[in-house]
Amino acid sequence: MLSGILLLSLLAFIPAPVVYAQETKPKSPGGVDWCANSWDRNEDAALLTNLTESPLTLSITENKRHLLLSNVTSKQITGYKLGVVTTNKGALKLIRTSVSIATNLGINEMAINPKAVDDELAFCRKKKAKLVVVEVAFADGSFWYGNI
């Protein structure tokens, strides 16, 4: 009897196993797994393109979880516009341009998962198009315009 009480008192101090909630991905209308947040960017990499001279680049982190908007110039960036492009015989065709998006990116700084970029990526998924930076505004008042 004493051993039974001792056993029950020991069991009272054993913690219950921890149960973690599983995150589920939303399904696209076709039933294919996809996610418009920072959990699965593997397919998003194919939707990004950068002009060779662009001072602001779009990329996906190596672990495929985050979208990066990176200032690759020696100037502070205060704003930008994104463009949605399709490819026709190797040439880019601009089909949509975003409004000006305010930012404050110093030299070699980056933004992680900017909402404005995510919104445009959602449009790219629907149109099977690519996203590109088409205009950049600098703190010194100058601008860069992409040649599309």
pLDDT tens column, 77-90: 999 999 999 988 88
Segment 119-135 mean pLDDT: 93
Asked whether the whole model's pTM tops 0.75, one would answer no
Write out the E strands in 29-138.
56-60, 67-71, 77-88, 91-97, 101-105, 110-112, 130-138
Q: Is 89 left (phi over 0), alpha (psi -120 to 50) or beta?
A: left
Domain residue spans of the chain: 40-145
